[in-house]
């Protein structure tokens, strides 16, 4: 899966829901102004929990739209290094939109959202019920597949992988239960069978 860079304009929006980005394909950069003396503990803790995938950029000097220019610079630098990456600017500032259109014209994947929860990859996974996830997984990964997971462990791993590793172990277990309840899979000990797949 392609790398998704999430660049958060902390002068424009409160950095929230960063824990939703705790997956190997997300890289989070929080941009902060030069006068910020301390970060909210929840934000600092969430960024630190990302390890090498979370970082800060603090501006050294203030100025009109200085933070916006920094975000634009980083997108330019990172897009040269990561040709297939997707860039998510988290800001309510519509001033980014002409830049985003220009980037798209140059085949750089980029979009702006007002919140981490609006990132399509996060939003699509967050909104589905276990039954909807089970139906989506079965249709796209099981029904027409030549090889299917033969054990409970490999099936749960396939479920997590299908949803871009955005599901917790508990959510993956809920999808498995929904598959069983719909009689799409039959679990016998550690083995899995697919009654409708011959």
Instruction: Provide φ and ψ at 48, rounded to 5°.
Output: -65, -30
Which pLDDT belongs to residue 73?
96
Task: Judge whether residue 37 has pLDDT over 80.
Answer: no
- CA dist 1 and 189 (Å) reads 32
pLDDT band at 126 (very low <50, low <70, confident <90, very high): low
pLDDT in tens, 106-124: 999 999 999 998 887 787 6
Task: Judge whether residue 125 has pLDDT over 70.
Answer: no
Find out whether 4 and 121 touch, Cβ atoms under 8 Å: yes
Q: What domains sit in the chain, N to C, each tagged with a CATH number?
A: 4-123 (3.40.50), 128-197 (1.10.10)
Find out whether 119 and 161 touch, Cβ atoms under 8 Å: no
- CA dist 30 and 71 (Å) reads 10
pTM: 0.66
Element (H, E) at 56: strand 54-58
Percent of the chain with pLDDT over 90: 55
H-type alpha helices, 82-189: 97-105, 120-127, 130-137, 152-162, 169-181
């Amino acid at each position: 899966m392609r790398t998704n860079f999430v660049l958060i304009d902390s002068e424009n929006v409160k950095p929230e829901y960063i824990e939703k980005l705790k997956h190997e394909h997300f890289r989070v950069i929080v941009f902060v102004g030069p006068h910020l003396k301390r970060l909210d503990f929840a934000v600092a803790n969430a960024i630190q929990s990302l390890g090498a995938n979370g970082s800060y950029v603090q501006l050294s000097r203030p100025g009109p739209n200085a933070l916006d220019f920094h975000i634009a610079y980083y997108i330019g630098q990172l897009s040269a290094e990561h040709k297939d990456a997707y860039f998510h600017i988290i800001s309510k500032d519509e001033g980014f939109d002409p830049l985003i259109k220009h980037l798209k014209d140059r085949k750089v994947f980029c979009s702006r959202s007002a919140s981490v929860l609006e990132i399509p990859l996060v939003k699509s996974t967050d909104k589905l019920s276990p039954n909807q996830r089970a139906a989506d997984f079965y249709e796209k990964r099981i029904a027409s597949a030549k090889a299917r997971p033969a054990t409970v462990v490999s099936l749960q791993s396939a479920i997590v992988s299908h949803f871009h590793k955005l599901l917790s172990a508990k959510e993956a277990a809920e999808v498995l239960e929904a598959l069983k309840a719909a009689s799409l899979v039959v679990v016998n000990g550690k083995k899995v069978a697919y009654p409708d797949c011959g």
